[in-house]
Amino acid sequence: MKCKEIQKLGIAYITKELSKEDELLVEDHITSCKECAKELQEINTFLTLLSNTKEDKPSSRVKNNFQTLLKEEIAQESNKVIHLQPKKDWTMFIRIAATITVVIGAFILGKISNNTTEIISGKAEQQVLALLENQSVSKRILAVNNTTKFSTTDTKIIDALIKKLFNDKNVNVRLAAAEALTKFSSLESVRDALIKSLETEKQPSLQIELIQILAKIQEKKALEPMKKLLENEETPNYVKQELRYNIASLL
């Protein structure tokens, strides 16, 4: 089994959803591949951290302890950088990201559903904002996908997503940020950020994602930058094909 296949099966392996045959194949691979073993350990550690979140309303002391433990976790992991191969098939990434969203959402909702809205929002926001700055690419992607449970009033979360969209060095994190921002597209600041990103982004996979998002939310202001990108000689033909199709839907 190759590393690419392990990355696809990683979440299912950790959550015990694989068949016995596939589980043995994964275990056989990670005994000889340190990189895949580390990545699975990173994800498992993060899921364990989420699953251990207490359901009872925490006191100030518990909240302080939570922040201390979170900072220690980030400090311990800060030197571990997971080198993920760029995903040429952006649609496959979106499917993987969607799977991660379901898994993480289940952990979060199952553990904090009995807390008050204020406590849920405060604790979850701090946790996500911290993980968005983690050195691990996989943890940043998990954190980005976990932002979808917030509302349009959570300006810190939205601002952090926009920052990831423009500044994160990993294209997969930027892809996840663009997809997550779709939920907040009712905000003019978000729509403007998506347009600006289309004007500056050079990665074709992310260009396609932005084109589809802007067409889906029927953002007419995106027509001009789309036409400019279409006229640009350096734009790949498959991106131009996506542009022609979506420009027509906006006219």
> What DSSP line would sit under 199-246, residue for residue?
HH---HHHHHHHHHHHHHTT-GGGHHHHHHHHH-TTS-HHHHHHHHHH
* Regions in the chain scoring below 50 on pLDDT: 53-59, 61-63, 65-66, 81-91, 94, 109, 111-120
Q: Collapsing DSSP states into helix, strand and coil, what is residue 154?
A: coil
pLDDT at 170: 92
Distance CA 149, CA 125 (A): 10
pLDDT at 214: 95
Q: What pTM was estimated for this model as a whole?
A: 0.54
Looking only at Cα atoms, what is the longest distance across the chain? 60
pLDDT at 225: 94
Distance CA 16, CA 5 (A): 16
pLDDT at 37: 83
pLDDT at 20: 83
* CA–CA distances in Å: residue 134 to residues 70, 72, 119, 158, 173: 11, 12, 23, 17, 12
CA proximity to 251, closest of 228, 229, 213, 218: 218
pLDDT at 242: 92
pLDDT at 99: 54
- Written as six digits, the tokens of 206 are 């992310």
Dihedral sign, CA of 36, 78, 72, 127?
negative
pLDDT at 95: 52
